[in-house]
Amino acid sequence: MELNKNTRIVLGPAYQVRLGSIPDGHVLVGVCLMCRHMGVIDHKRLIDRYSAHECIVSLLPRFRCTSCRTRGEALASFEVHRVER
């Protein structure tokens, strides 16, 4: 899957975006502010575990970068991208 600026969409301010507001055919991408690693986050799995009404920023303390292993607030940048088929 290729992610670029042409596939990115804006859902609103990060503190308002809920897991259930990510449309079908789109993916949630987290960007680590420490090492700039980008990784796809399975938002459907998060909905199953928490709730579709859960705000993304409320889950920050639970996230960890798979590259540099930094936890929490360092993963404060999120993007939603349309999946190109």
Residue 61: predicted pLDDT: 85
Domain spans of the chain?
A: 8-82
Average the pLDDT over 44-62 and give the result: 89
35 has a pLDDT exceeding 70: yes
Give the global pTM: 0.75
Q: Is the dihedral of CA 37, 58, 25, 66 positive or negative?
A: positive
Q: Order across the sheet with 26-31: list the strands.
A: 8-9, 77-82, 26-31, 38-41
Residue with the larger pLDDT of the pair 85 and 66: 66
What percentage of residues in the chain have a pLDDT greater than 70?
76
pLDDT of residue 22: 87
pLDDT band at 52 (very low <50, low <70, confident <90, very high): very high
